[in-house]
Amino acid sequence: MSQKPGAVLYAKSVARVSAFYVEAAALELVHSEEDHVVLESPLFQLVIVAIPERLAASIEVASPPIRRENTPIKLVFPIQSIQVVRAKAASLGGELNTIEREWRFQGSRVCDGHDPEGNVVQFRENAG
């Protein structure tokens, strides 16, 4: 593991949330322990940490999950194809917005969605 920019995401189900980011964001699982996993790309590291059981017991994740939009942070991942990620996200317990809600930003097609626990995430596909 190397030093690189990254983020820490707390999850009720580390396995389910990490599987989402491995498949949807093409991150590689580089380290795993009972209470956390480390996922990486060449330029970014995402550490998913288990919410302590005493706190997790009071958290309910709806099915389908309700988006946690009242947060000042949104993870953003560059991807090859929003269409492919949209299909993968659904099978992994997450969801991407419909094609009608995509937009363009700084040379990218952009689409928001959420992971299996409702954390908002954005995917950007090169529009060139």
Domain ranges of the chain: 6-126
CATH top-level class of 6-126: alpha beta
Alpha carbons 40 and 10: distance in angstroms, whole number = 16
Alpha carbons 21 and 4: distance in angstroms, whole number = 17
Please state whether 41 falls in left (phi above 0), alpha (psi between -120 and 50) or beta: beta
How many Cα atoms are found within 13 Å in the side-chain-facing hemisphere of 28? Answer: 7
Average pLDDT, the chain: 93
Question: How do residues 34-53 score in pLDDT, each as one tens digit?
Answer: 999 999 999 999 999 999 88
pTM value surpassing 0.85: yes
